[in-house]
Chain A
Amino acid sequence: GAGVSQSPSNKVTEKGKDVELRCDPISGHTALYWYRQSLGQGLEFLIYFQGNSAPDKSGLPSDRFSAERTGGSVSTLTIQRTQQEDSAVYLCASTYGGISNEQFFGPGTRLTVL
């Protein structure tokens, strides 16, 4: 079946603009994660959705970042008033079932803020 998909694959924007990044998880996966991977860095946790529970937003770096998940499926990560330090690869992952299960990652969206 289809894997996790993300769009766009690349996004170049100007400082101060808003951007929206989209994630389509694997059908039936109940959990969805967003991470940020900066050049030469590891994965930075941003936000986690599990079913209908309130999301874990503890990793969002500032109030310029927000995310929603509609209908328990597609998720959108929004970054308002982008800054150059927001430049990174944004990764989405989904998981089925319980927390002992592995994550399936999308190809990522490379965001460049000029």
Chain B
Amino acid sequence: EAQVTQNPRYLITVTGKKLTVTCSQNMNHEYMSWYRQDPGLGLRQIYYSMNVEVTDKGDVPEGYKVSRKEKRNFPLILESPSPNQTSLYFCASGQGYYNSPLHFGNGTRLTVT
């Protein structure tokens, strides 16, 4: 089944403890992206990747890192999480950037205490 898989689905952690949220897609998509969704603020893009080894900042990149060493994987890294990074995170992928639909994972709900 074609899908975008995120792990974990739920994560509770403490301030400053490094964490990684994994994202993997099995559709051979070139484009991948991370979003966070917050009440009243909607979906905001954190980072995106047009292809392997090519990443760029979205609207809210502060406090996050990403890497794209393989086409299928695009992990989101929080080196020193803070409470303001408590949010619902989504990974998405697309065949290309310009004219193909976005496919989303089921989300990771992160709580930083």
Partners in one complex: no
